[in-house]
Amino acid sequence: MVHVLSSRTLLRPTDPDRSRAFYGGQLGLAVHREFGTGPERGTVYFLGGGFLEVSGRAEAPPSPGLRLWLQVADAAEAYEELTGRGVEVPRPPVREPWGLIEMWLQDPDGVEIVVVEVPADHPLRFRP
């Protein structure tokens, strides 16, 4: 097995400045590091146990199969914070049949972002 020391998701947006404004400004993700210069410079954001790198530029949006899963402590609080920052949230927090509370939104290129709360009574909170 490969021993992975760190990981990050690489995102090549169609408009890097717009995507940085979304991830850093509207979502409020903290910056881990920045590199390079100019509009296609790289910005790496903290994502809990991983990272999201927004760098370079793509001619077309990422594949519709790409989704980001972000776990938060309180989905309702995240909803209020994000909508207060002007983020459009097409699907507010809902408790799913599998027990997680999920809210769905999209980045400027249409990348789906699932914001998830694991409730206190969910099996993911318990270890056998």
The whole-angstrom separation of Cα 65 and Cα 10 is: 14
Token digits of residue 51: 């990272």
Per-residue pLDDT, 40: 87
Which one, of 38, 54, 55, lies nearest residue 46 by Cα?
54
Confidence band of 128 (pLDDT split at 50, 70, 90) = low
* Rounded mean pLDDT, 109-115: 95
Which one, of 120, 81, 85, lies nearest residue 103 by Cα?
81
Task: Tell me if residue 76 falls in helix, strand or coil.
Answer: helix
Direct distance between the N- and C-terminal alpha carbons of the chain, in angstroms, rounded to an integer: 25
- Name residue 117's beta-bridge partners: 72, 101
The pTM is what? 0.88
The whole-angstrom separation of Cα 22 and Cα 52 is: 13
Summary mean pLDDT of the chain = 93
Q: How many CB atoms lie within 10 A of CB 114?
A: 15
- 46-98 confidence digits (pLDDT tens): 998 899 999 999 999 998 889 999 999 999 999 999 999 999 999 999 999 99
| pLDDT(5) > 80 | no
Percent of the chain with pLDDT over 70: 98
The whole-angstrom separation of Cα 107 and Cα 5 is: 28
